[in-house]
Amino acid sequence: MKPTRAFDRFSKLAARFFGRPPAFTAAVAIIAAWLATGPLFAFSDTWQLVINTATTVITFLMAFLIHNTQSRDTEAIQIKLDELIRVTEAASNSLMDLEALDEATLEAYRRKYELLARRSREG
């Protein structure tokens, strides 16, 4: 299996697992256990460093996983929307792949469709 495919599979599974209530419950349990051990370690700097380091590393890694899954989901949604535009006769095919256009062109399209929406509301 290619490394990219392995990462995609891993990121899907991780996102699915960490987005569920059991993962949140596990995180709360870990924090509770860490708090409970505070008196045992006299609330030392090392005791605090353990949780700070762990949360930093986890946050850093989760940012990449979340970005990967959101990017993939966004791309899939764009493809689906492009297909709906393509098969709808009244739709303009020029709207397909708008996300690839520069900001000025996107702004021109936005103004055009805001004007159409305003006219539609007015009657």
Position 1 pLDDT exceeds 80: no
Position 34 pLDDT exceeds 90: yes
How does DSSP classify residue 37?
T
Give the side-chain half-sphere CA count within 13 A for 102. Answer: 2
Structure confidence by residue, pLDDT tens digits, 39-95: 999 999 999 999 999 999 999 999 988 898 899 899 999 999 889 988 998 888 888
Structure confidence by residue, pLDDT tens digits, 88-123: 988 888 888 888 889 999 999 999 989 989 999 997
